[in-house]
A and B are shown apart, each in its own frame.
Chain A
Amino acid sequence: MALERSDVEKIAHLARLGLNDADIPRTTEALNSILGLIDQMQAVDTTGIEPLAHPLEASQRLRADVVTESNHREAYQSIAPAVENGLYLVPKVIE
């Protein structure tokens, strides 16, 4: 199934990517080319095969529920685009 312009616009919104209107036809063509490659998977019979997420099938390690991290707020905020009083600034969300 080939993607159309409206599909690409929807996916781009889901990914929060503001595509240029002029670029959408070229992006759509490239995505369809990649999906053509990916769709070769559908011919593979995987009946009864369990999906593999971790190559060594390790599970998440647990640790004791104690504080291990110190406070790095100053260091982390020093590289942020906009901060004030220890908070990250974004455009107004609530009127």
Chain B
Amino acid sequence: MHQLTLAEIARGLADKKFSSEELTKTLLARIAQLDPQLNSFITLTEDLALEQAKAADARRANGETGALLGAPIGHKDLFCTLGVRTSCGSKMLDNFKAPYDATVVAKLAAAGAVSLGKTNMDEFAMGSANESSYYGAVKNPWNLEHVPGGSSGGSAAAVAARLLPAATGTDTGGSIRQPAALTNLTGLKPTYGRVSRWGMIAYASSLDQGGPLARTAEDCAILLQGMAGFDPQDSTSIDEPVPDYSASLNGSLQGLRIGVPKEYFSEGLDPRIAQLIHTSIKELEKLGAVIKHISLPNMQHAIPAYYVIAPAEASSNLSRFDGVRFGHRCEDPKDLTDLYKRSRAEGFGPEVQRRILVGAYALSAGYYDAYYLQAQKIRRLIKNDFMTAFNEVDIILGPTTPNPAWKIGAKNSDPVSAYLEDVYTITANLAGLPGLSMPAGFVDGLPVGVQLLAPYFQEGRLLNVAHQYQLNTDWHLRSPAGF
């Protein structure tokens, strides 16, 4: 039963082959048995899950239908969940029980999804390896000595290991697409503003976006359908109608123009990954797509610009954690400044502290123009590159990551070496574009992802291409040995 996708679960529940309660119990037992190897959950909510499952079964018995009604999922532990610890992977919020549900959590619950628990993540979503969590590193089910990627590494590991059919994640610089690539999943970062950020603990507000991680494009369509939509509570939410993503899956790829940027295949890319990406391009050509070679000349400036904008916004967002209203508070503060300084130094881990310091520096008097303003100008250059490219092509394709999953601890000595792994994913966040990663093969037994980028609000096009690719390939069906 644990191998079922969301689409198969919806059919099984509709045909009364099993109940949501049975399925939920099966998965909870599997998590208890296997998750000690992976550490993909921070908090399990068994009682809530069984309550939601029974309620979903009752709704179905009353004639209600819906693709998510009774479907088990998990939430990345930065989506606020009423009365349930929402830690953000940090000691700072180890004692924080959210006083409300995030919009995404409320919407999925209303659709009848059953939340089994809160998944592990890099502290405050800052990382690409899920090693910075206060609750310990997450292991990659494909090789337990390797990282699952991050920051949505717990969601990715749990879905890849068949502990869950799908989970929510968030993507600020690649945190859905990169772990999806490293664990053989399909993951989608929607257009900025497509999914509400209300109740999603902020890292970098102009880049953060929630989205689905699942094993197939078909399942990403189902989960995204439940997550997307305008939310007046989120001041950056965009009031655009949400199309029927499942309905768009079956379009033909005949004549689809795919742009392949030369910058995605330059120095730094593992040649074995390049080979697999070229194979996936040939597969899409067989399905009728037309390949065009394009250039995104400012791509190389994305990482430096990102490591100004994201830390600057983080230093501002994380100022709310001051030991006064919620979260960690130091013992016996001698005055107010001591309360702030020690609560924050004790509550935040080293990577979070580094990014707060970089951000505070970039925003400090005398440096604002040289850093923050220059980064925002580069951001426009990057967006302009995409707008020019999308005049000629419908979709842009390249590798999701330059390397497969690295060994746990391998990049700990130098933070910059890990930052460089996000080279292909960061541009979509800076430009606010939707992006998807899907399985494209294996290198040394470790999964490789191919990334698709589309114009604003063309999530349906990404899912369509990925679904057609998955109807003709079987990489996404491979499951890790032992799970």
Where the two chains meet, the residues of A that have a C-beta atom closer than 8 Å to any C-beta of B are 3, 7-8, 11-12, 14-20, 27, 30-31, 33-42, 44, 46, 49-56, 58, 60-61, 63, 72, 75-76, 78-82, 88, 90-93
Contacts and interface: CB of A to CB of B under 8 A. Distances in A.
B305 interface: yes
What's the dominant secondary structure at chain B's contact region?
helix
Given A33-B415, A33-B416, A42-B374, A55 B360 contact: no
A79 to B, nearest CB: 5
Given A60-B235, A76-B99, A12 B357 contact: yes
A50 B377 contact: yes
A33 B380 contact: no
Given A8-B357, A54-B236, 19 more contacts: A7-B361, A14-B364, A15-B319, A15-B360, A18-B342, A18-B345, A27-B354, A34-B358, A34-B415, A38-B358, A41-B304, A41-B375, A46-B381, A55-B430, A82-B329, A90-B324, A91-B333, A91-B338, A93-B335
Nearest to B307: A38
B377 A91 contact: no
Contact of B360 (A14, A80, A81): A14
Nearest to B333: A91
B415 A79 contact: no
Nearest to A68: B232
B390 interface: no
B97 to A, nearest CB: 6
Contacts, number: 169
21 contacts: A7-B361, A15-B357, A15-B360, A17-B357, A27-B354, A30-B354, A31-B357, A33-B415, A35-B358, A35-B361, A44-B298, A51-B380, A56-B192, A58-B236, A76-B326, A79-B96, A81-B327, A90-B339, A91-B334, A91-B335, A93-B335
B301 to A, nearest CB: 5
Nearest to A81: B329
Contacts of B373: 51
A45 to B, nearest CB: 9
What's the dominant secondary structure at chain A's contact region?
loop
Contacts of A50: 377, 380
Interface of B: 95-97, 99, 191-193, 206, 232, 235-236, 238, 298, 301, 303-305, 307-308, 315, 319, 322-327, 329, 333-342, 344-345, 348, 353-354, 356-362, 364, 370-371, 373-381, 383, 414-416, 419, 430-433, 456
Nearest to B375: A41
A60 B308 CA distance: 23
A88 B383 contact: no
Contacts of B338: 18, 91
B315 A15 contact: yes
Contacts of A52: 376-377, 379-380, 383
B178 to A, nearest CB: 18
A17 B356 contact: yes
